[in-house]
Amino acid sequence: MIIAQAKRKENMAEYLLYMWQVEDIIRAFNLDIDLIQANIIDRYGVDNETKAKIRDWYESLIKMMQLEDKKESGHLQINNNTIIRLTDLHLQLLDSHKFPRYEAIYYQTLPIIVELRAKTRSDEQTSEIETCFNALYGTLLLKLKGQEISPDTLLAVSQISQFLGTLSALYLKDEETPLFGNEEEY
């Protein structure tokens, strides 16, 4: 909860990757709040009131995972909504042509996205943004497992990170002051 709140304010890409990791951690503990309490929450160097808030946060995530049938795999709808919002902003940024730096980073990343989609046989339901997140998360899991990652993959992940970092920064700017006004025609 503490880390998620900080990441949410600083970088949406890091926030989403963190939340995916939390989903997997909850699954690793079989959605058992007592195991999470003993192995995660109790290890935080915070007061009991904060630990209680962290426990409530984990309990609410567990309930959502149960209600949404995400006990074994998949992502919570709140996390999917973040992908949807990032994808919507991405499309707006490209359509507007007002953000040439963003467009340049996107077009530098596009061949990597195309290659990833071809390799993973992503269906058309998977957005380019979600494809990028899947690549970053997969690489994170490989690192956590201590598996070797090829130099080409590291280069691709670096480009994707730059792209998503730029999108995340624009997302946070858009939250503060909308980048696009109400542009309805009368």
Number of domains into which the chain is organized = 2
User: What percentage of the chain carries pLDDT values higher than 70?
Assistant: 91
Q: Mean pLDDT in the chain?
A: 91
2 or 183: which leads in pLDDT: 2
Is the pLDDT score of 186 beyond 60? no
Residue 25 lies in a domain: yes
167 and 91 inside one domain: yes
Q: Which pLDDT value is given to residue 2?
A: 64
61 and 94 inside one domain: no
165-171 mean pLDDT: 96
Residue 183 lies in a domain: no
Residue 185 lies in a domain: no
Q: Please name the amino acid found at residue 10.
A: E
25 and 93 inside one domain: no
Of 23, 41, 67, the one marking the end of a domain is 67
26 and 92 inside one domain: no
167 and 93 inside one domain: yes
Is the pLDDT score of 185 beyond 60? no
Using CA atoms, how far residue 18 sits from 11, 90, 168, in Å, is: 11, 21, 14
Domain range for 93 is 82-176
41 and 99 inside one domain: no
Q: Which helix (H) or strand (E) holds 1?
A: none
Contacts of 61 (CB under 8 A, 6+ apart): 22, 23, 26, 76
Give, rounded to a whole angstrom, the gap between the first and last alpha carbons of the chain. 45
Summarize pLDDT for 86-112 with one digit per residue, the tens: 999 999 999 998 999 999 999 999 999
pTM, two decimal places: 0.88
